[in-house]
């Protein structure tokens, strides 16, 4: 094994850390949850599908420890429920990963209701998850905001998704400046 002394990167062990992950049942969120659990972090995840939740928790259980709930972050009260249950399970979390998203297409291919739903999950619940993270973590811990290359690679078939992800990129940068290290 190569020693880490020449990497110029501080390595923080994950063992004993506690992580909340929105959208942790599929895709990038699931991969993050499994990796964190395999490194010794305890995780609490959410996703919209009970089947995906069960599958993700089974995989997490193979490598570490975690729990979660199936719910829809677009539904009123469900975001608060998720963070309340996460705190109840984890106690004092020190990592929050904001990741949940649903696909969205071109403006001309989506109904008004589909657009409203995508904005509710991909933008409103995203920002409110960051607010919950800030409140839970106070002056300790890490907030990780997962974005998308769609904010920068603007395809004509993804106008709604690209617009939301560009908004998230701006939000993430502004939040980093507000909450980042103040040394």
The residue annotated as part of the active site, out of 18, 140, 161, 182, is 161
3 state SS of 115 = helix
Beta-carbon contacts of residue 117 (< 8 Å; ≥ 6 apart): 74, 102
Q: Is residue 102 part of a domain?
A: yes
Q: Is residue 134 part of a domain?
A: yes
Tens of pLDDT, residues 93-137 = 999 999 988 888 888 999 999 999 999 998 999 999 999 999 999
The residue annotated as part of the active site, out of 109, 117, 165, 182, is 165
Q: Is residue 44 part of a domain?
A: yes
Q: Is residue 4 part of a domain?
A: no
Least confident window among 74-78, 121-125, 142-146, 151-155: 151-155
- C-alpha–C-alpha distance, residues 12 and 130, integer Å: 22
Residue 25 and residue 14 in contact, taking contact as beta carbons nearer than 8 Å: no
* Known catalytic residue at 89: no
What pLDDT score does 147 carry? 79
Q: Is residue 121 part of a domain?
A: yes
- State the pTM of this model: 0.88
| CATH number of the domain encompassing residue 31 | 3.40.50.720
Query: Domain tally for the chain?
Result: 1
* Known catalytic residue at 161: yes
Sign of the dihedral defined by the CA atoms of residues 146, 119, 174, 98, in that order: negative
- The mean of the pLDDT values for the chain is 89
Residue-range definition of the domain harbouring residue 129 = 18-178
Q: Is residue 12 part of a domain?
A: no
Q: Is residue 30 part of a domain?
A: yes
Q: Is residue 13 part of a domain?
A: no
């Amino acid at each position: 094994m190569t020693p880490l002394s020449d990497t110029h990167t501080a390595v923080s062990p994950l063992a004993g850390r506690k992580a909340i992950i929105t959208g942790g049942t599929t895709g990038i969120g699931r991969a993050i949850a499994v990796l964190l659990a395999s490194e010794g972090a305890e995780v609490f995840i959410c996703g919209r599908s009970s089947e995906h939740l069960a599958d993700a928790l089974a995989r997490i259980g193979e490598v570490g420890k975690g729990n979660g709930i199936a719910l829809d972050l677009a539904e009123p009260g469900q975001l608060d429920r998720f963070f309340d249950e996460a705190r109840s399970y984890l106690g004092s979390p020190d990592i929050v990963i904001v990741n949940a998203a649903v696909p969205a297409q071109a403006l001309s291919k989506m109904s008004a209701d589909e657009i409203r739903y995508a904005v509710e999950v991909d933008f409103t619940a995203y920002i409110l998850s960051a607010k919950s993270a800030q409140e839970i973590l106070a002056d300790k811990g890490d907030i990780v905001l997962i974005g998308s290359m769609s904010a920068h690679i603007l395809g004509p078939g993804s106008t709604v998704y690209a617009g939301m992800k560009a908004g998230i990129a701006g939000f993430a940068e502004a939040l980093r400046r507000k909450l980042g290290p103040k040394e």
